[in-house]
Amino acid sequence: MADHTYDVVVIGAGPVGENVADRVARGGLSVAVVERELVGGECSYWACMPTKALLRSTAALRAARRVPGSREAVTGELDVPAVLRRRDAFSSHWKDDGQVSWLDVAGIALYRGQGRIGSDRVVEVTDAAGATTSLTARHAVVVATGSAALLPDIPGLREAEPWSSREAAAARAVPGRLAVIGGGVVASEMATAFAALGSKVTMLARDGVLPRAEPFAGELVTGSLRDAGASVLLGAEAEAVKRDGDGAVHLTLTTGEVIEADEILVAIGRTPNTQDIGLAAVGLTPGDWLTVDDTLRVLGDDGTPLTDGWLYAAGDVNRRALLTHQGKYQARAAGDAIVARAKSEPVDARPWGRHVATADARAVPQVTFTEPEIASVGLTAAAAEAAGLSVRVVDYDLGAVAGAALHADGYQGRARMVVDEDREVIVGFTLAGPDVAELLHAATIAIVGEVPLDLLWHAVPAYPTISEVWLRLLEAYGR
Ligand SMILES: Cc1cc2nc3c(=O)[nH]c(=O)nc-3n(C[C@H](O)[C@H](O)[C@H](O)COP(=O)(O)OP(=O)(O)OC[C@H]3O[C@@H](n4cnc5c(N)ncnc54)[C@H](O)[C@@H]3O)c2cc1C
């Protein structure tokens, strides 16, 4: 009988599962990953890659039209089939051969099927034909099963066959009219993309647009969506949905207003993929998010690692930060901690040690690829105040920076620096404006490095770039 014992077994081969596996393999441990769909996960096929590919062509066109000279050279319209073809290529045509070859080269075993924790250190894999293989882990089992779109309980919604982010990201055609339920990052990005691709978009943003960002971010995105012809209904909530025989969908709002559309996209949040992974076998509740310590070990209700600390959870499934880069950061920390523990080496759990994912709580960078782009890291002013910090907020009009004015005519944007006055360090930073995404990492370094504002004064931004906003913010702060 074949031996299915490995040092580490990872359930889920999304970006996070792949990175945990890679890290432990590099550390000299044997490892298997279990995947029920495509190796590469949500990010590669239905999330980051396809959505950013859909947004990129329209952003490039907008950028060209903002600068006299290049504007005159753009004489045609957006080529929608070409945009969709490029999106298809960036989604690897929904085939995972490339990722599977990579696993092979990295020496990582792949088992296809649904993985479930069976008992201590044992994962049962049920393949498409219903056959089950039992995998045993000598040192650790890592749950990296990710998350799925949440569907609200609105009468008629399920029967109307709404799009989740998956169908939007992989759309074969652009609907004439698209209703979007939600106002968060995914809803705002997809409203931006489909409005630019030609849909008449109506967005029902019950809690506002980008409610977790600095308020000016949502205001700028709302304004530009409206300029692009979308209706953004702030505070609006659907109470019933019905799809007609002719395919049109009717959304009745709580105000009685009825919105008609060809497709509805629901983007109101995520739910963890933990319903059917055998959590009951370790005393946890199926369907719950998993709580972890900073080395990503799963914790029980008493706040201590479960089951002798062999169970880990990284990525979306632990709800710390539902972003690929942050999940991959957790994967590196967890992978290295697993290797250290397997070799009885010390685990570096100091606040910024190699085996902990401390930045999840202090410095999560995020770019929302709307128009304008919103790039943020750390705390918003409101969150910093709620955390009891002695906060000073410094804002600057990005359009007044020479580099930004050169970058595009009529450049509009804003930057905000949130300072902890007691320590004179930055704890939050937000940029809103065209092409600000690449500026974000400087702020992440300033926050993680806790660089004193006095020292930042010596980090001179090049002229004439948009980065000069750093100098303007320091001047406004009073340095
Ligand atoms: C529309 C959209 C756009 C996004 N854009 C960005 C972006 O631009 N940048 C960014 O950083 N983040 C983005 N995200 C978030 C990002 O996609 C996730 O944070 C990331 O995919 C999480 O990785 P993961 O490995 O934890 O989970 P996933 O990518 O969800 O992978 C989990 C894998 O586990 C498998 N699996 C689940 N259960 C089992 C089981 N029981 N047995 C076997 N296999 C199982 C799944 O099939 C899947 O392949 C976006 C999300 C959405 C929805």
**Does residue 288 surpass a pLDDT of 90?**
yes
Residue identified by tokens 């957006």 is: 78
pLDDT at 1: 62
pLDDT at 380: 98
The whole-model pTM stands at 0.97
Return the bridge partners of 119, or none. Answer: 122
Tens of pLDDT, residues 306-362: 878 999 999 999 999 999 999 999 999 999 999 999 999 999 988 889 899 999 999
Ligand 1 mean position to 445 CA, how many Å? 26
Nearest residue CA, atom 37 of ligand 1? 145
Ligand 1 mean position to 34 CA, how many Å? 14
Ligand 1: atom nearest CA of 317 is: 26
With the most atoms of ligand 1 within 8 angstroms of its CB, the residue from 23, 163, 324, 332 to mutate is 324
* Residue among 95, 85, 244, 246 at smallest CA distance from 173: 85
Nearest residue CA, atom 7 of ligand 1? 48
Over the chain, what is the mean pLDDT? Answer: 97
Ligand 1 mean position to 78 CA, how many Å? 30
Nearest residue CA, atom 8 of ligand 1? 48
Tens of pLDDT, residues 444-475: 999 999 999 999 999 999 999 999 999 999 99
**Does residue 3 surpass a pLDDT of 90?**
no
Q: Kindly list the protein residues whose Cβ atom lies closer than 6 A to any atom of ligand 1.
A: 11-17, 34-37, 41-43, 47-48, 51-52, 114-115, 144-147, 165, 169, 186, 273, 277, 315-316, 322-325, 327
Residue 23 confidence class, pLDDT cut points 50, 70, 90: very high
Ligand 1 mean position to 289 CA, how many Å? 14
d(CA 284, CA 299): 10
pLDDT at 320: 98
Tens of pLDDT, residues 110-168: 999 999 999 999 999 999 999 999 999 999 999 999 999 999 999 999 999 999 999 99
Ligand 1: atom nearest CA of 41 is: 49
